[in-house]
Amino acid sequence: MYPYLRPAGVIMKLETEPLPTPHQDPSLWHAIYGEDKAYWDNLIADLLARESFHHNATAHKTFAKMRSVTAGLYLYRNMIPEAEYAFRQAIELAPASTEASFRLANFYLDLRRYDDALALMLAYQNLDATNPAVRDFIDTIETRKREEP
């Protein structure tokens, strides 16, 4: 479905025809990203200003999940800086989100940005110290970094 999706606030709009790639129509994707970024920048500022948001773990996870979905779309479209920005916003919304942290760390790992992946997972480990998957992923990052030619 990725070829048919475009960000539309907290959801995705499903187009009837596949959208051109960012390479085929950079101005379209520049406009889509500009609108999406402005929307989320404003929404996040609003949410973080609300005391009620800070005490609602479900809201943190829900909004982080929605932002991670958009990051995944940007990743599919090979819009690397845009994907990173959206993943970072997901973590800003929910620092304890397993999904957001693992997806961004895996993104860094795929880009061979081992130090960024490691720093992210070490910070996340402080929030989820009993999760064995975190230690396993840190070991994977360290191994891949050592094995890098």
R_g over Cα of the chain: 16
Nearest Cα residue to 9 out of 38, 31, 29: 38
What per-residue confidence (pLDDT) applies to 149? Answer: 79
CB 64, CB 93: distance < 8 Å: yes
Kindly tell me the sign of the dihedral angle through the C-alpha atoms of 107, 7, 68, 88: positive
pTM for the full predicted model: 0.93
pLDDT digits (tens, 9 = 90+) for 16-36: 999 999 999 999 999 999 999
Q: What is the mean pLDDT of residues 101-130?
A: 95
Average pLDDT, stretch 92-107? 95
pLDDT in tens, 76-94: 999 999 999 999 999 999 9
Question: If you average pLDDT over residues 2-17, what whole number do you get?
Answer: 97
Q: Cα–Cα distance between 68 and 91 in angstroms, integer? A: 9
- What stretches of the chain adopt beta strand conformation (E)? 5-8, 11-14
